[in-house]
Amino acid sequence: MTQVMNPSPYQIVRRYVRPLSIKLRINDGLVLASRTLWLALTVCVLVAAVGWLTPIPNLIWWALMPIVLWLMVIIGFIVFRPLPLRRAAQRIDLLLNLRERLSTAIELYETGATTPLTSYQQADACTVAAQLHPRQLPISVPRRPLLWALLPLAALIALLTLPNPMERVLAERAAVAEMIEEVNQQLARLEEELANREDLTPAQREELQQILRQLQEELSRNPGDRQEALADIARAEMQLRQRLDPQTDLRQAALEQLARRLEQLSNNQTSPRPTLDQLRQQLENLANSLNQMSAAERQALADELAQQAAQLAAADPATAQALQDAAQALERGDSQAAAQALQQAAQQVRNTQAAAANQQAVQQALANTQIARQQIAQAGQTGQGQQAQQGQGQQGQQAQGQSGQGQGQQGQTGQPGQGQQGQPGQEQQGQPGQGGGSTADHLGQQQSNASGDVDPNRPASQQGQSGNQDLVYRPFRPSGQQGEPDFIPGQQNSGGSSEVRPGQGQQSGLNNPSVVPYEQIFPEYQRTATEALDRGSVPIYLQDLVREYFSRLEP
């Protein structure tokens, strides 16, 4: 069928209608945006509200993400929504009051209608289309839906601008994550340091490195969770503590005492703290020099070895047995068996030396994990830590002030009818007219106005004298009970003098049950210090000082 309408006028109408059709699309998109803006803002408010309940990194971007998605939908609606040419012409005719000129011309062309007026209608449509411009189409956006969007918009602005409590949590997580990275670097350096230690066996080195590597892997997967990191470190600390031997330090201290005694026997200069390697060399030298000793020297050596074996039996039974075998062999005159026993003792010292090196490495790793735990626990809490330190400092100053007051009261003695107790840091006991009090830990001791040094570890009859240095004060605890001393108030008789209870001596020279031989009580104090070292209660930088202190106190 032949088209009545010339394609050329149709193309003219189509060319002029297309720009107006684009503006119609834009108008439709704006209408859709105005009607759905409140919905997008509501979703933004919900996301921001969730950010106030749980920490969300980059909350602003997540809260604005619904707006971005909404804009993409609007743009896609404008670009990809189909708008047929006839539908666009009908809307243009309606908006510009063109009496359906454009839509009629397009319909006549598409349907192929043949009428006598077709050519006139085509010419009129082309003339009108040529005069059209997109500016003639109005942009009409409904305002009421925009008013609905004001409420969620205000709520969104408030949620994003007001201080969010979750920001502190996020800051702490970031600080924890940064500290975890630093801790991993410290653990890597420690692992490298352990790898370079030659005093560890390959099995010991691999065991410690495996624990450190596992801890590093667990921490590297941590995004900043403080509790999870502390739990990982706690598991590593538990594994390290299981590898601690409470008897190693005690054996080492006892062997150091043996080395000091052997140095004295050999007339060599005594070291402040001889090493186990020196002890091993001393035992080997003794084993090699037995044939050069006289019978009297061998007998003296046998007596000394037997005595040292008895003192060493509780701390290191294997070495003590070897020393005892050497002493018995010397008493029998069997120098070869004595030399073999001394070599065996030297081997036991070498084993103890390896165990001590392993314990030192374990303690070093444990100290590093403890430092890492403290660093992670304090990460992101600088302000709180400073406040806590200031509070502790104020409490310490108050405690020092109170202690000073107590010490100041200590010097007030000799008031008529008034009893005072001269213990540092304690308040005065008793009022005028009453007898002075005492404590159970100091029964048998009395106050003295004599000048000179007063040693609480010596009996009252020996104050100011030299000698009896092997006695040390030991608090009396019935049945081994622990706790604070009990206060026993004194009584006053009718004559105004204080009544003496049993156990309180008024004269010098009485035996004090609170004083025991130094050699008897020293192992108890040394064992307590060793247990504190094994538990990690003493900082790593003070452990050598504590060991040296008790080493010098050894009888």
Q: Which two tokens stand for residue 13?
A: 């109408």
What CA–CA distances, in Å, run from 241 to 125, 162, 367, 402, 536? 96, 48, 11, 39, 9
Over residues 281-304, mean pLDDT = 85
For residue 470, with 0-12 CB atoms within 10 Å meaning exposed, 13-18 middle and 19 or more buried, which class applies? exposed
pLDDT > 70? residue 228: yes
What is the pLDDT at residue 476? 45
Q: Please provide residue 476's backbone torsions phi and psi, each rounded to the nearest 5 degrees.
A: -80, 120
Q: Which helix (H) or strand (E) holds 30?
A: helix 7-53
Q: Give the Cα separation of 261 and 274 in Å (integer).
A: 10
pLDDT > 50? residue 101: yes
Name the band, by pLDDT with cuts 50, 70 and 90, for residue 507. Answer: very low
pLDDT > 60? residue 245: yes
pLDDT > 80? residue 436: no
519 touches 555 (CB < 8 A): yes
One-letter amino acid at 22 equals I
Q: Give the Cα-Cα-Cα angle 261, 262, 265 (nearest 5 degrees).
A: 90
Q: What 3-state DSSP class applies to 418? A: strand
Over residues 460-470, mean pLDDT = 44
What CA–CA distances, in Å, run from 83 to 18, 79, 86? 10, 10, 9
Q: Give the Cα separation of 274 and 253 in Å (integer).
A: 10
| Least confident window among 17-26, 156-165, 293-302, 528-537 | 528-537
Which residues contact residue 397 at a Cβ distance below 8 angstroms, ignoring those fewer than 6 apart?
A: none
Q: Please provide residue 189's backbone torsions phi and psi, each rounded to the nearest 5 degrees.
A: -65, -40
Which residue do the tokens 């590597």 mark?
Answer: 213
What is the pLDDT at residue 34? 93
Over residues 49-60, mean pLDDT = 92
Q: What is the pLDDT of residues 130-152, one digit of tens each?
A: 888 889 988 888 889 899 999 99
Nearest to 199 by CA among 273, 257, 275: 275
Nearest to 63 by CA among 47, 49, 51: 47
pLDDT > 70? residue 81: yes
What is the pLDDT at residue 336? 87
pLDDT > 50? residue 337: yes
Q: Give the Cα separation of 399 and 392 in Å (integer).
A: 10
Q: Give the Cα separation of 225 and 222 in Å (integer).
A: 6
Q: Give the Cα-Cα-Cα angle 287, 292, 295 (nearest 5 degrees).
A: 95
Position with higher pLDDT, 185 vs 485: 185
| Least confident window among 215-219, 298-302, 343-347, 460-464 | 460-464
pLDDT > 60? residue 234: yes
Strands 471-473 and 515-517: antiparallel
Domain ranges of the chain: 7-161, 166-241, 246-380
Q: What 3-state DSSP class applies to 492? A: strand
pLDDT > 60? residue 369: yes
Over residues 57-80, mean pLDDT = 94
Q: What is the pLDDT of residues 468-503, one digit of tens each?
A: 444 444 454 444 445 455 544 454 454 444 444 444
Over residues 238-245, mean pLDDT = 88
In terms of pTM, does the model score above 0.75?
A: no
Name the band, by pLDDT with cuts 50, 70 and 90, for residue 235. Answer: very high
Q: Give the Cα separation of 527 and 554 in Å (integer).
A: 12
Name the band, by pLDDT with cuts 50, 70 and 90, for residue 70. Answer: very high
User: What number of H helices and E strands is found in the chain?
Assistant: 18, 6
pLDDT > 70? residue 6: no
What is the pLDDT at residue 313? 85
What is the pLDDT at residue 51? 93
Q: Which two tokens stand for residue 123?
A: 């010419």
Position with higher pLDDT, 113 vs 46: 46
Q: Which helix (H) or strand (E) holds 495?
A: none
Q: Give the Cα separation of 438 and 441 in Å (integer).
A: 9
Round the average pLDDT of the chain to a whole number and report it: 76
pLDDT > 80? residue 385: no
What is the pLDDT at residue 410? 40
User: Which range is most confident: 411-415, 447-451, 455-459, 533-537?
Assistant: 533-537
What is the pLDDT at residue 389? 43
Q: Which helix (H) or strand (E) holds 439?
A: strand 438-439
Over residues 55-78, mean pLDDT = 94
Which residue do the tokens 């007030």 mark?
Answer: 412
- Exposure string over 406-428, b if 16+ CB within 10 A, otherwise e: eeebbeeeeeeebbbbbbeebeb
Q: What is the pLDDT of residues 386-399, one digit of tens each?
A: 444 444 444 444 43
Neighbour count for residue 197 (Cβ, 10 Å): 15
